Structure 1
Amino acid sequence: MDPKFSNNDMVYVVDFVILCLGRFKDVPNIPQFPARKGPEAFRGKAMHSMEYAAMDHDEAASFVKGKKVVIVGFGKTGLDIARECSSANGPEHPCTIVYRRDHWKLPDWAPWGIPFAYFYGNRFSELLVHKPGEGFLLSVLATLLSPLRWGVSKIVESYIKKKLPLAKFDMVPQHSISKDTRSCLILYMPDSDNFFEAVEQKCIKLKKSQSFSFYENGIFIDEDNTQIEADLVIFATGFRGEDKLKHIFESSTFRQLIAGSPRVSLYRECIHPRIPQLAVIGFSESLSDIYTSEMRAKWVAALLEGAFKLPSIYEMQKDVARWDEYMKQSTGEYYYRSSIGGLEIWYNDQLCRDMGINPLRKNGLLANLFEPYGPMDYYVKP
C-alpha cells in the first residue's frame, strides 16, 4: 500500500478494496411530504428510529413516558419500539403504528412441532422453486412440484392464522408467505401473546394507510381524512443503504455503476462486474445475514488468495442478470431489497464451488436433501 498526499488529504493506492459499510444504518429513510405537510408543520418532535435506538433502555423509556407516540412502519424496529412505548405508557397513552401493508409474522419456529427451517431452509424446499441458472432438468422439476410449493405455503399460513389473531385485527397479508420469505420480510414474534394482548387492551393501535401528512397536533391520514394526535412521531422506515454506498465514491461513473438501478446488482452479491477490484460485504439480505456475510467474506478471502479467478465481465454480467430476473419475478415490488431469501443454499453452493469446497455439507443423501442448512454446516476447522 503506497500512501500519497493530495490537497492535505492522505490517499492510499491499493490493489483491492472491501467495503463492510452495513446496509441498515447511517442514512435514514424518511418519507417525502408535500410542502408544509411534513414534520415542519408538526409542533411535536419527529425523529428516525436511529436516533431513538441511540438511547439506552432507561433513557428511551423516560423519553416516551406520558407521550402520545405514533410509529411509522411495522417491521422489527417498529414492533420493538411499540412494545417499549406500550410498556411505558399502557392504555393511558396508547401508541399508534401506522403502516402500509401487512407481512407474515411467525409465532415460533415449529408449526405442529416441525421447525420452520424444514419448510423453507433445506435443499428439498429449494427444489420447489425456480432458481437463477438452474438448468433444464431443475426447471422442469420446479414446475412439476409447484402444486406442492403452493400446498406448503398454505399449510404454514394456516398454522400462523391459527396461532395468531391476524384476522381479528385485520392483519392477514394479501400475498403468500413464500413471497415474504423470498423478500426477507418475515417478522419473527417470539412473544406474540404480549403484543396482541397490548393491542387488545388498546395499549397499541394499528392503522393501515398508504400515505399520511403532518398537521400541527399530529398526523393526518389521507385515505379516510382522520387525525391522530401525537407528541412524538418515530419513523421506523429503514435506511437508504444504496445512497450510502453510492456516495462513498467521488467518481460519478462509479456511483452510477454501483447504485444506478433499484437493486445494487453484484456478482455473487459481492463484486460489480465493472469494478472487479472492489468487494461489498453484507449488502444483499438473507434470512440469516450474519452467516451469509461470513460466507461472502470467506469467498473474497479465497479470491484474494488466488484459489479461483473471476470470470470475464461478460460472464459476470450474465450471472447478475439471471439473479436480477429471479428477484424481479419472485419479490415483485421488493426487488430493490437485493434479497436471496429462500435460496441461501443454492447461493452458498455457488460460493463453495468457486472456492473448491464440496457444497454438500452433510453426511448422506437424505440428510443433504431434507435437513436444514445453517452456519455450522459451512464451518471449516482450521
Structure 2
Amino acid sequence: MFTVLPANFYDKVKEGRLILKKSHNFSFCKNGLIVDGEATPVATDIVIFGTGYKSDAKLKNIFASTYFQKCVFGSSAPLYRECIHPRIPNLAILGYADSPAILFTTEMRSKWLAHFLAGKFKLPSIREMEDDVIKREKFMRCYARQSYKRYCVNVLLQIYCNDQLCKDMGCNPRRKNWFLAKLFAPYGPSDYKNLSRPM
C-alpha cells in the first residue's frame, strides 16, 4: 500500500494553507471548526476528515442529529454519485465505496466535486437523486450479492459511473482518441487526466 500526495503538499502545510489536526472530538461553529483541547476555532472553508477504518460508525458519529445519523448509516452508500447525500446539505464524502484497487475513481469524484463547487453544474432535485441512489443500489445487490455494500472491483460499473461524472461536468465521456481504441483498449486513469474537453 502506498500514498500519493499532490504536488507541493507539505509546502502548503508550511504556509498554513493546509492545516492538519488529530483529535477525538470536534465540533463546528460559525467561524470554522473547534478541535478538542483548543480554545480558538480553526478558521476554515473546507474540512476533510480522514476516517480510516470503520468509516460507517465514524460517519454516523459526525452528526448529533439522529435524523442525519439514520440518513447516512445503514445503506451501502446512500450518496448521489457516491459522493453527496441528497438530504444532508454541505456534506460530501469521497472514497466511501472505493478501495485501493481503484483509487482513480475517488480522484474522478474529487474532480466532479470541484466542478460542482465551482458552479459548473447543479444537482438534480432531492427526489431525482434518491431515485438514482436506489437504482444503483438495486443493481449492486443484484450483481455483488451479500458483498454489495463495499463492492468496488466491478470495472464495467466504474466505467459507467465515470461516464456519468463526465456528463455532469460537461466533458466527453468517450475518452479514447481513435476508433479502434474505443472498441478494444481498456479504460484507465490516463484516459481521465484531462477533463476540460467539452461534449
TM-score for both structures, normalised by structure 1: 0.39
1:153-168 equivalences in 2 (<5 Å): none
| Counterpart residue type for residue 327 of structure 1 | M
Say whether residues 1:3 and 2:31 are aligned partners: yes
**Which residue is equivalent to 2:191?**
377
1:277 match: 90
1:282 Cα deviation after fit: 0.9
CA distance in 2, matches of 1:321, 1:303: 22
CA deviations over 1:269-298 (Å, ceiling 9, x no partner): 000010142110111125743211111110
Task: Give the corresponding residue for 2:54.
Answer: 240
Amino acid at match of 1:307: K
Q: CA deviation at 1:339?
A: 2.9
Corresponding position: 1:21 with 2:44: no
The AA in structure 1 aligned to 2:122 is K
- Relative distance call for 1:3 and 1:322 in structure 2 (3 A) is same
Q: How far apart, in 2, do the equivalents of 1:325 and 1:344 lie?
A: 16
Which consecutive segments of 4 or more residues in structure 1 shift more than 4 A?
A: 11-14, 17-20
Residue-by-residue CA offset, 1:243-269 (whole Å, 9 max, x unaligned): 12111222222111111x241211000
Answering whether residue 69 of structure 2 is matched by residue 255 of structure 1, we say yes
150, 154, 161: which is aligned to 1:341?
154
Tell me the number of residue pairs that the alignment of Structure 1 and Structure 2 aligns: 164
- Any unmatched runs of 5+ in structure 1? 26-238
Q: Quick one: distance in 2 between partners of 1:292 and 1:244?
A: 22
**Are 2:104 and 2:189, in contact at CA under 8 Å, matched by a contact in 1?**
yes
Give the match for residue 359 of structure 1. Answer: 173
Per the alignment, residue 171 of structure 1 pairs with: none
Q: CA RMSD in A?
A: 2.9
1:315 and 2:128 are equivalent in the alignment: yes
Change (3 A) 1:315 1:262: closer
Work out whether 1:291 is the aligned partner of 2:104: yes
Please report how far the alpha carbon of residue 341 of structure 1 lies from its aligned counterpart in structure 2 after TM superposition: 2.2
Change (3 A) 1:320 1:4: closer
Q: Deviation of residue 13 (structure 1)?
A: 8.8
CA distance in 1, matches of 2:47, 2:41: 18
- After superposition, what is the alpha-carbon deviation per residue over 1:184-222, rounded to whole angstroms, capped at 9, x for unaligned? xxxxxxxxxxxxxxxxxxxxxxxxxxxxxxxxxxxxxxx
Mapped to 1, the partners of 2:89 and 2:30 lie a distance apart of 20
Matched, 1:268 2:81: yes
- Name which one, 1 or 2, has greater alpha-carbon Rg: 1
Secondary structure class of the residue paired with 1:274? coil
| Cα shift readout 1:58-86 (whole Å, capped 9, x = no counterpart) | xxxxxxxxxxxxxxxxxxxxxxxxxxxxx
Alpha-carbon contact 1:262-1:335 (below 8 Å) kept: no
| Matched AA of 1:3 | N
Residue 86 (structure 1) aligns with? none
Same amino acid, percent of matched pairs: 43
State how far apart, in whole Å, the 1-side matches of 2:195 and 2:77 are.
33
The structure with higher relative contact order (CA 8 Å, sep 6+) is 1
* CA distance in structure 2 between the partners assigned to 1:271 and 1:311 by the alignment: 11
Residue 60 of structure 2 aligns to which amino acid in structure 1? K
**1:359, distance to aligned residue in structure 2 (A):** 0.6
Match runs of 1:97-136 below 5 Å: none
Secondary structure, aligned partner of 1:275: coil
CA contact (8 A) 1:286 1:344 kept: no
Q: Gapped runs of 5+ residues in structure 2?
A: 1-28
For 1:293 and 1:320, locate their aligned partners in 2 and report how far apart those are by CA, in whole Å.
17
**Aligned residue identity for 2:61:** H
Q: Deviations over 1:76-97 (max 9, x none)?
A: xxxxxxxxxxxxxxxxxxxxxx
Cα 1:5–1:282 shift into 2, 3 Å? closer
SS at match of 2:90: strand
Q: Tell me if the contact between 1:282 and 1:289 (Cα under 8 Å) persists in the aligned partners.
A: no
Cα distance in 1 for residues equivalent to 2:81 and 2:70: 19
Alignment-derived partner of residue 104 in structure 1: none
1:301 aligned partner, one-letter code: A
| More strand as a share of residues | 1
